[in-house]
Amino acid sequence: MLHLSEVLIQEHDLTSFTELVAIIQKRAREGEMFFQMDIKPPFGDTPDNWEERLESAFTSAR
């Protein structure tokens, strides 16, 4: 299972929500089956609907 907190720790050089979306899509294409959003992304450009956007990025990339 892919946890958002783990992604943020592993990809500590991310600077924006847009970059995070790309990483989530990449991880989904690499075979991750489940995605848990256990923390809010700390970026200034994180939208109000961030959970929906990340879920959509994850499911559409597979």
Q: What is the pLDDT of residue 1?
A: 95
Residue range 34-43: average pLDDT?
98
- Specify the DSSP class assigned to residue 40: -
Residue range 31-52: average pLDDT?
97
Q: How confident is the model at residue 31 (pLDDT cuts 50, 70, 90)?
A: very high
Q: Taking the model in full, what pTM does it have?
A: 0.94
Residues in Cβ contact with 41 at an 8 Å cutoff, skipping those fewer than 6 apart: 4, 8, 17, 20, 50, 54
Q: How confident is the model at residue 62 (pLDDT cuts 50, 70, 90)?
A: confident
Q: What is the pLDDT of residue 10?
A: 98
43-49's contacts with Cβ under 8 Å and 24+ in sequence apart are 43/14, 43/15, 43/16, 43/17, 44/16, 45/16, 45/17, 45/18, 46/17, 47/17
